[in-house]
Structure formats: structure tokens, C-alpha cells
């Protein structure tokens, strides 16, 4: 009874906390406060988390992401925080889960199943202990009536107490009932669902545990030599392991030679482009070929995964095949490196943009995938190892890139580093309001005759005013709960 009652009270308190911190507010300081209290509660409820390294790391990652929300308040930081928060809820529900993909799905499912679990447990508790509830109601009835009578007398007799009580009543009304109860109600429901998702065990946990166990049995981290099963019988009938080895040798050898020609051609194009100043040529080369080159790298990883899925890892004297595979991985890594260098050339000549930065980020993930594929072949790991390691790689990479306010990085770089005084002011104006203070600080340079014509200057002056007004309107009605350093810096007028 006490455990159920405690969980119910904490769940309701969590809903009130959510409504108090976020109703009519944006993400900011409230996000950090909410995260610290939420993580602290989960640690109190589940002290064994300290011994679970993966869950502990996700908790620290979620807190760190909330700090980035307060610091630079970018859309990326807010998105990564939400993803990490959902992942943490899933990790709390299943702390031995190794694949983060299942953890994220479990976190999402907990939002849906939390109300069901809460109602089921509350129903069982009320059916079994309604007499205790009635007893407590009887005990509290007379004290509450006496307290209300004396409160009424003191309220009329002491003016100072009347003033204090009115202030407390107004403050309580503002934080609990609000002027507009609709948004507050839905925030309260969200808080109840969020806290309920970790206080009450999700009905989906047994299903996910069963699925994860089957996956780990089917794909253990370390491969073992096994006889072919029915799944591969059709494949075995076409060719034995020796024929499969020969096909793998011929395929990877041919693909190595083909990729060598591609890398030589790509390298010559990079040398020629390095001395080129034609924006159209650089842009066409970057956008037309990059996606296909990345696709080819992913296809290469798929081919190696097909050949080194099982018993070919244990084929006698397969060192030549492994050397060919390592060579192909190295050539694909070189291709990724040259594609990254191509992206850098374009940035140096014509400035940063979201697409060019996302391209660099994706190439980083591809490089990590190539490294994990090398470990898989060298140490005879399974597909499950690739899923686990690459999921962690994606999570860590998202945390890493969310620590930077890329809007400010792009704005600063394009103002100070773009060659030939070619600043795309249309693009800088289309970004989020995080760069308002930078544009105003360098207004004289950006609006000079070297950059803009007189007609353009009038247009951008009007647009700057609209952005400043829009920023002020966004903050209107918000309190300290939405405070973040990025908005604070924008409020300060540049000298």
C-alpha cells in the first residue's frame, strides 16, 4: 500500500512539476531542473543504476544534453536532448539492454503503456486497501475542519496574516490553476505519463526482453563455427563453403581494382578542383557525386557483411581473403576521406551551410562504421556486435555535435572566412534567431557597398527589424524558467 501510494503521489507531483515548469514556456533552465530532478528520482528508486555503466552513461548524456539546451538552445540540442531522454526511460525499464535501438523503442512504448500500468496497479491497490483509505479519511476529517475554522478567524483578525494568505493564494493559483488551464492540463498529463513510465514497469518490458534474448541467441557477439541450418540450406546446395570462398576472393579482388581506379580518378578531380574558383563546378561536383559515393561505401559494407556473416570467418587459410577485405575497407575509408576533403574545399571557397556540415557528420559516422566492420572481421564478431557498436556510435556522435551552436559557427565563418567578400546574407538571415547579435555586431560590414546594393540594403534593414521584433515577441510572457544563454546574449545590444 505504502509503495503504491508513494508512487501515485510522486507521479502526481511530477505532473504538477511539469505543468509548473513548462506551461507557456520554452525549453531552457526548466529543462535542466526537470532533468536533474527526474534523474535523481530514478537513482533513488533504482540505486543499482550506479553499477550499470550503460544506463549511467545515458543518464549523464541526458543531463549533458539538457545543459547544452540551456547554453546555446539550438534546435539540434533540443532534439538530441529529447532523443536521449526517451532512451534513458527505455534504459531504466530494461537496464541490461545492450542494443540502444530496443531501448529507444521501449522508451517510446513506455509513454503509451504507462497509463495502463498505472491504472492496473492503482486498481489492485484500491481493491485491497480501501478500508485503510477510509480510515485515514476519517482521521483527517476533524483536523481539517478545525484548521479551516481557525484559519478563517486568523484571516479576519490579523491584517498582516490576511495579506500573506492572499499572496500565497494568488501564487498557488498562478502555478496550479493558471489563467489558461488548457495547456497546463496537457502539460500535467505529460508529466504524469513521463514519471509513470519509470515508476511503473511497462507492460512491454517482457516482450522486449524476449525479443532481445532471441536476437542475442541468434546473433551472439562472438561468432562460433556451426553446421549450416535450414535457413542456409538452399544457399549451401548451390555452392559449398569452398566455392563461397572462391567467389568472395574473386568478387572482392575485382571490386578492389575497380575502387582503385575510382580513387585515382577522384583524387585527380580534387587536385583540379583545388585550383578552381568556379562555384558552379564545385557545387555540381559536391551535390551530384557525394550521395552516390556514400551509398557505394554503405554497399561495400553490406557486401563484406554478406561474405563474413558466418563460417567463412573460420575457413582454413583465409588470410588472403581477409587482407583483400581490409584493403577494400581502407580504400573505402580513403574514398570517405577524399569526399570529406572535397566538402572542406567547397566550404573554404563559398562558406558553410547546413548540408555541408551534415555531410561531414555523416562521413564521420560512415568512417566509424568502416572501423567497426574491420573489428568484426578481425575478431570474428557478429551482426549483433555491429548493431550495438554503431548504435552507440550514433548516440555519442549526436551528443558531440549537439554541444556546438552551429548557427553561430556558420555565421562567424561565413563573415570572416568567405573569400572574395562573398557573404550570402540571404542565407544568414534565414537561420534561427541565435545569430541576431552577430549580424547586428557586424552590421556596418555586412551592409556596406562591397556586400550590398542600395536596394538590398533597404530590404535587409527591414528584415533585421522584423527579426528583432519576432525575437521580442517570442520571449514575451516567458519567465526565468525559459532562460537560456543564447536568448540572453541576443537581448544585449551590440556596442
DSSP state of 381: B
pLDDT of residue 292: 76
pLDDT of residue 67: 96
The tens digit of pLDDT for each residue in 483-495 reads 999 999 888 755 4
Most confident option among 49-58, 212-221, 293-302, 403-412: 403-412
pLDDT of residue 395: 95
The tens digit of pLDDT for each residue in 363-400 reads 999 999 999 999 988 888 888 888 889 999 999 999 99
pLDDT of residue 231: 44
Q: CA of 361: how far to CAs of 78, 103, 301, 357, in Å? A: 18, 23, 18, 6
3-state SS track over 178-246: CCCHHHHHHHHHHHHHHHHHHHCCCCCHHHHHHHHHHHHHHCCCECCCCCCCHHHHHHHHHCCHHHHHH
Average of per-residue pLDDT values in the chain: 80
pLDDT of residue 179: 55
The tens digit of pLDDT for each residue in 305-326 reads 888 876 677 677 778 888 999 9
The domain ranges of the chain are 2-212, 237-381, 406-491
The tens digit of pLDDT for each residue in 350-366 reads 788 888 898 889 899 99
The tens digit of pLDDT for each residue in 13-33 reads 998 899 889 988 999 999 999
Q: CA of 401: how far to CAs of 69, 168, 340, in Å? A: 13, 44, 17
Mean pLDDT on 234-244? 59
Mean pLDDT on 436-450? 84
What span, in angstroms and rounded, lies between the C-alpha atoms of 294 and 296? Answer: 5
Q: How many CB atoms lie within 10 A of CB 170?
A: 10
Could you tell me what percent of the chain has a pLDDT over 70? 76
pLDDT of residue 495: 47
What span, in angstroms and rounded, lies between the C-alpha atoms of 452 and 445? Answer: 10
Q: Are 486 and 73 in contact (CB under 8 A)?
A: yes
Our CA dihedral for 74, 80, 83, 88, rounded to 10 degrees, sits at: -120
Amino acid at each position: 500500500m505504502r509503495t503504491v501510494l508513494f508512487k501515485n503521489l510522486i507521479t502526481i507531483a511530477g505532473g504538477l512539476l511539469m505543468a509548473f515548469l513548462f506551461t507557456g514556456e520554452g525549453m531552457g533552465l526548466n529543462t535542466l531542473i526537470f532533468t536533474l530532478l527526474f534523474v535523481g528520482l530514478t537513482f533513488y528508486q533504482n540505486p543499482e543504476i550506479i553499477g550499470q555503466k550503460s544506463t549511467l552513461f545515458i543518464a549523464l548524456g541526458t543531463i549533458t544534453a539538457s545543459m547544452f539546451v540551456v547554453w546555446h538552445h539550438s534546435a539540434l540540442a533540443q532534439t538530441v536532448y529529447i532523443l536521449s531522454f526517451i532512451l534513458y526511460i527505455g534504459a531504466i525499464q530494461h537496464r541490461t539492454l545492450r542494443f540502444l535501438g530496443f531501448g529507444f523503442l521501449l522508451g517510446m512504448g513506455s509513454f503509451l503503456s504507462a497509463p495502463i500500468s498505472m491504472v492496473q496497479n492503482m486498481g489492485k491497490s484500491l481493491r485491497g486497501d480501501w478500508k485503510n483509505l477510509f480510515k485515514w479519511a476519517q482521521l483527517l476529517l476533524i483536523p481539517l475542519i478545525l484548521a479551516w475554522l481557525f484559519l478563517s478567524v486568523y484571516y479576519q483578525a490579523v491584517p498582516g496574516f490576511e495579506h500573506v494568505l492572499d499572496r500565497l493564494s494568488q501564487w498557488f493559483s498562478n502555478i496550479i490553476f493558471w489563467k489558461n488551464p488548457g495547456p497546463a492540463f496537457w502539460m500535467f498529463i505529460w508529466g504524469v505519463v513521463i514519471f509513470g513510465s519509470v515508476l511503473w514497469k511497462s507492460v512491454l518490458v517482457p516482450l522486449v526482453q524476449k525479443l532481445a534474448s532471441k536476437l542475442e541467441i541468434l546473433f551472439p557477439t562472438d561468432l562460433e563455427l556451426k553446421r549450416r541450418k535450414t535457413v542456409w540450406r538452399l544457399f549451401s546446395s548451390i555452392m559449398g563453403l569452398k566455392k563461397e570462398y572462391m567467389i568472395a576472393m574473386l568478387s572482392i579482388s575485382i571490386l578492389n581494382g575497380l575502387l582503385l581506379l575510382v580513387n585515382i580518378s577522384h583524387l585527380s578531380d580534387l587536385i583540379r578542383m583545388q585550383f578552381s574558383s568556379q562555384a558552379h563546378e564545385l557545387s555540381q561536383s559536391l551535390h551530384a557525386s557525394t550521395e552516390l559515393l556514400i551509398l557505394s561505401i554503405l554497399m561495400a559494407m553490406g557486401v563484406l557483411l554478406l561474405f563474413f556473416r558466418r563460417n567463412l570467418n573460420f575457413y582454413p587459410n583465409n588470410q588472403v581473403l581477409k587482407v583483400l577485405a581490409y584493403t577494400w575497407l581502407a580504400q573505402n575509408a580513403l574514398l570517405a576521406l577524399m569526399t570529406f576533403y572535397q566538402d572542406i574545399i567547397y566550404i573554404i571557397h563559398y562558406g558553410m551551410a547546413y548540408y555541408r556540415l551534415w555531410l561531414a557528420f555523416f562521413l564521420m559516422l560512415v568512417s566509424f562504421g568502416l572501423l567497426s566492420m574491420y573489428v568484426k572481421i578481425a575478431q570474428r564478431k557478429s551482426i549483433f556486435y555491429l548493431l550495438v557498436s554503431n548504435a552507440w556510435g550514433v548516440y555519442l556522435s549526436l551528443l558531440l555535435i549537439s554541444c556546438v551552436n552551429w548557427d553561430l559557427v556558420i555565421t562567424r565563418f561565413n563573415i570572416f572566412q568567405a573569400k572574395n567578400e562573398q557573404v550570402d546574407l540571404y542565407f544568414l538571415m534565414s537561420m534561427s534567431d541565435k545569430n541576431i547579435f552577430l549580424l547586428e555586431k557586424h552590421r556596418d560590414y555586412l551592409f556596406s557597398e562591397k556586400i550590398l546594393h542600395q536596394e538590398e540594403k533597404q530590404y535587409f534593414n527591414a528584415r533585421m527589424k522584423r527579426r528583432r521584433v519576432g525575437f521580442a515577441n517570442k520571449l514575451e510572457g516567458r519567465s526565468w524558467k525559459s532562460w537560456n544563454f543564447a536568448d540572453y546574449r541576443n537581448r544585449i545590444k551590440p556596442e
